[in-house]
């Protein structure tokens, strides 16, 4: 077997215990509900027979190890539970919504790179001078910026005042979908840009101070060309790695951003199911989010190995 | 690290000075809310809704005629109290587990680090929202949710620092002198590793305040009638086209608060970093 394939398989195998842990934790969520979970979910006015029926549906009348086995066995067969509110399988609800959220995450990852790389490169190239200080202040301001509020401000400026983008919603044609994702994508990106700019600037400084950049300069190559050809290219690997590390935070941010922009994705499903006190859906969505993060982390690891021959396949 | 060196470096850190000034002014304002706010935060006046800024209402009034300036101050008080309070358990728990994990290694380390990996696999906001939903909305739910999720970063930071400290000469010397584990840990390792956790506390408080405000916006955080910046932004959003300041003013306050705390954290990191 080729070393690359072997590495990929090993990396996937390494993530299996984490996925198992994720399943255990989402299983335990229901145990954290105070009192009798069925009663709490239905409210104090629910009839005893309704409570008993829900207890049966949630499997609460069995011993805990059997409950876990049913949950785990179901997942292995692709069954994530039954929605209390909609009375359909949670996986069909998740399937309807996951595409929008995936598109939103993709668009925001793109915006993250587009915003982060130039600012970090500029700051690193002008270390300890005005642009560097400006980038530091901007990222410090960004650290305390509630992204949902930033989204509201963007709507106010670009949708209400200028009318460039829809105020919310998803539209019907692919072009409308794309337009609908611009502002939410920027909003989600802003949530992780400050952290990324700071780390990437540090990574780029390392490259700038390395020998091959000094050689490129000594050969008389123009400063901007050195920056974009030699430095940025070598800084792409840490960008991919950093994006992988921070993707969980980015994805978590989209839950709230979908709410701001009225997008019917997974986050919206999670929040409406909380309103409906529909526990199985909340549980299923939580699980899907976590597994997506694990999968993306494996993927970014594999990509950075391919990008960087220096990363050893060990 | 000499205390004198730290203090003289602190005097030369513009970030730390600016951050301390911004943070102290804001905290003083929030703590003095009962004195400088001119109305009760939930005193309604349905005859004076949506008023613009005036001498009587510096930041105008909201849809129920409540004074925005007063609500802003009281909200700051709640949000900062909850934000700081929610960091305490994660800080203690994470530092303890990180120290034990890094110092003893072996199966303890393996177990703690696997749990850290599992918690980190969940998008932060997804897990917080799910936890607040199951344990119950409001302050108690927020504290429990952060106790479960937020210790992992502290555990990682302190574990890494402990691994480094364990290999230092002075620790070997302490062993050579015949000291017990507990004494080596508390006298020789912890004072060095905990600084890094303390530096992270500042950034963490910013993250937690943001999360508390976000939960408030979603209606899962601090419950009415207690004013909170998140719920203020949420209720203002319905009137965003006609009365934009109802949402923008609390948002700007969050940003300034976050900036102050981040500057303190950044400055502290510079000052406390071993030279």
Contact A255 B126 (CB under 8 A): yes
**DSSP 8-state class, residue B220:** S
Answer yes or no: is pLDDT of A314 > 60.
no
Which string of b and e fits A152-184 if b means at least 16 CB within 10 Å?
Answer: bbbbbebbeeeeebbbbebeeeeeebeebbbbb
* Mean pLDDT lowest among A148-162, A269-283, B27-41: B27-41
Contact in structure between B244 and B185 (CB atoms under 8 Å): no
State both tokens at B24.
């102290």
Contact B255 A155 (CB under 8 A): no
The CATH code of domain A90-307 reads 1.10.3720.10
Contact B121 A18 (CB under 8 A): yes
Contact in structure between A67 and A81 (CB atoms under 8 Å): no
| Mean pLDDT across chain B | 86
- Tell me the C-alpha distance between B75 and B70, whole Å: 8
- Judge residue B92's burial from the number of C-beta atoms within 10 Å of its C-beta, 0-12 exposed, 13-18 middle, 19 or more buried: middle
Answer yes or no: is pLDDT of B88 > 80.
yes
Contact in structure between A209 and A124 (CB atoms under 8 Å): no
- Tell me the C-alpha distance between B73 and B41, whole Å: 9
Residues A105-125: tens digit of each pLDDT: 999 999 998 999 889 888 888
Cβ atoms within 10 Å, residue A99: 12
pLDDT of residue A151: 93
Answer yes or no: is pLDDT of A312 > 80.
no
pLDDT of residue B266: 86
| B contact test, residue of A41, A138, A143 with most B CBs within 10 A | A143
pLDDT of residue B40: 82
Answer yes or no: is pLDDT of A258 > 60.
yes
The verdict on A182 touching B (C-beta cutoff 8 Å) is no
Q: Output B244 or A293, whichever has higher pLDDT.
A: A293
Contact A33 B124 (CB under 8 A): no
The verdict on B114 touching A (C-beta cutoff 8 Å) is yes
Residues A47-85: tens digit of each pLDDT: 888 888 888 877 777 888 888 888 888 888 888 888 888
Long-range contacts from B175-184, C-beta under 8 angstroms, 24+ separation = B181/B103
| Mean pLDDT across chain A | 85
Highest mean pLDDT among A165-169, B48-52, B140-144: B140-144
Contact in structure between A313 and A4 (CB atoms under 8 Å): yes
pLDDT of residue A20: 93
Long-range contacts from A79-82, C-beta under 8 angstroms, 24+ separation = A80/A280, A80/A283, A80/A284, A80/A287, A80/A288, A81/A280, A81/A281, A81/A283, A81/A284, A82/A57, A82/A280
B254 → closest Cβ in A21, A33, A149? A149
Answer yes or no: is pLDDT of A267 > 90.
yes
Tell me which residue of B121, B118, B140 sits closest to B212, measured CA to CA.
B140
B67 three-state secondary structure: strand
* CA B90, chain centre distance (Å): 11
Residues B95-109: tens digit of each pLDDT: 999 999 998 889 999
- Tell me the C-alpha distance between A238 and B211, whole Å: 27
A146 → closest Cβ in B251, B259, B261? B251
Answer yes or no: is pLDDT of B2 > 60.
no
Tell me which residue of B74, B42, B70, B45 sits closest to B57, measured CA to CA.
B70
Distance from CA of B177 to the nearest CA of A (A): 40
Over its C-alpha atoms, chain B yields an Rg (Å, rounded) of 22
Mean pLDDT of B114-122: 92
Q: What are the DSSP calls for A81-115, one per residue? A: -B-TTT-SBHHHHHHHHHHHHHHHHHHHHHHHHHH
pLDDT of residue A209: 78
Mean pLDDT of A90-101: 91
Residues A177-236: tens digit of each pLDDT: 888 899 999 999 998 999 889 888 888 888 777 777 778 778 877 777 777 777 777 777
Residues B124-173: tens digit of each pLDDT: 999 999 999 998 888 899 999 999 999 999 999 999 989 888 888 777 78
Contact in structure between A83 and A90 (CB atoms under 8 Å): yes
Give, in words, the CATH class of B3-272.
mainly alpha
**DSSP 8-state class, residue B223:** P
Mean pLDDT of B15-24: 91
State both tokens at B13.
């850190």
- Residue A35 gets the label, from left (phi > 0), alpha (psi -120 to 50) or beta, of left
Using a CB-CB cut-off of 8 Å, the residues of chain B touching A280 are none
Match 């005859």 to its residue by tokens. B47
């Amino acid at each position: 077997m080729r070393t690359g394939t072997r590495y990929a398989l090993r990396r996937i195998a390494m993530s299996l215990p984490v996925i198992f842990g994720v399943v255990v934790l989402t299983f335990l969520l229901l145990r954290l509900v105070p009192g009798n979970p069925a009663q709490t979910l239905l409210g104090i006015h629910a009839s005893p027979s309704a409570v008993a029926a829900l207890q049966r549906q949630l499997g609460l009348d069995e011993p805990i190890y059997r409950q876990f086995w049913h949950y785990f066995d179901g997942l292995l067969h692709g069954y994530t539970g039954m929605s209390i509110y909609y009375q359909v399988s949670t996986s069909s609800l998740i399937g309807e919504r996951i595409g929008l959220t995936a598109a939103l995450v993709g668009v925001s990852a793109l915006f993250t790179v587009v915003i982060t790389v130039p600012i970090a490169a500029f700051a690193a190239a002008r270390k300890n001078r005005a642009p560097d200080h400006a980038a530091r202040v901007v990222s410090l301001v960004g650290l305390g910026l509630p992204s949902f509020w930033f989204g509201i401000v963007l709507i106010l400026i670009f949708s209400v005042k200028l009318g460039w983008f829809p105020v919310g919603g998803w539209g019907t044609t692919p072009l409308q979908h794309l337009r609908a994702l611009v502002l939410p994508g920027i909003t989600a990106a802003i949530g992780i840009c400050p952290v990324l700019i700071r780390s990437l600037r540090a990574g780029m400084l390392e490259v700038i101070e390395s020998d091959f950049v000094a050689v490129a300069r000594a050969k008389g190559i123009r400063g901007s060309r050195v920056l974009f050809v030699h430095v940025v290219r070598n800084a792409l690997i840490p960008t991919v790695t950093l994006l992988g590390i921070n993707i969980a935070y980015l994805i978590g941010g989209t839950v709230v951003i979908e709410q701001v922009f009225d997008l019917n994705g997974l986050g919206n499903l999670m929040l409406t199911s909380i309103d409906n006190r529909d526990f199985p859906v909340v549980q299923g969505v939580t699980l899907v989010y976590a597994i997506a993060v694990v999968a993306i982390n494996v993927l970014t690891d594999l990509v950075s190995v391919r990008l960087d021959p220096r990363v050893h396949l060990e | 690290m000499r205390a004198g060196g730290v203090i003289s470096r602190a005097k030369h850190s513009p970030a730390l000075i600016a951050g301390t000034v911004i943070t102290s002014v804001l905290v003083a304002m929030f703590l003095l809310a009962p004195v400088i706010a001119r109305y009760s935060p939930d005193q309604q006046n349905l005859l004076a809704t949506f008023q613009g800024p005036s001498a009587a209402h510096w930041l105008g009034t909201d849809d129920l005629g409540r004074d925005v300036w007063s609500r802003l101050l009281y909200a700051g008080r709640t949000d900062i109290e909850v934000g700081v309070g929610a960091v305490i358990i994660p800080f203690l728990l994470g530092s303890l587990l990180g120290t034990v994990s890094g110092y003893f290694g072996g199966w303890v380390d393996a177990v703690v680090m696997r749990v850290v990996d599992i918690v980190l696999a969940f998008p932060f906001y997804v897990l917080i929202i799910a936890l607040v939903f199951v344990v119950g909305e409001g302050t108690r739910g927020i504290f429990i949710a952060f106790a479960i999720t937020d210790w992992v970063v502290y555990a990682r930071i302190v574990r890494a620092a402990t691994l480094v400290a364990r290999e230092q000469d002075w620790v070997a010397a302490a062993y050579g002198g015949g000291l017990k584990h507990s004494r080596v840990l508390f006298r020789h390792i912890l004072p060095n590793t905990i600084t890094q956790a303390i530096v992270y506390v500042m950034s963490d408080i910013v993250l937690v305040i943001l999360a508390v405000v976000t939960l408030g916006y979603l209606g899962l955080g601090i419950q009415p009638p207690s004013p909170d910046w998140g719920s203020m932004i949420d209720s203002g959003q319905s009137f965003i086209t006609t009365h934009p300041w109802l949402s923008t003013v609390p948002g700007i306050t969050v940003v300034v608060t976050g900036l102050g705390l981040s500057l303190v954290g950044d400055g502290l990191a510079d000052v406390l970093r071993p030279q």
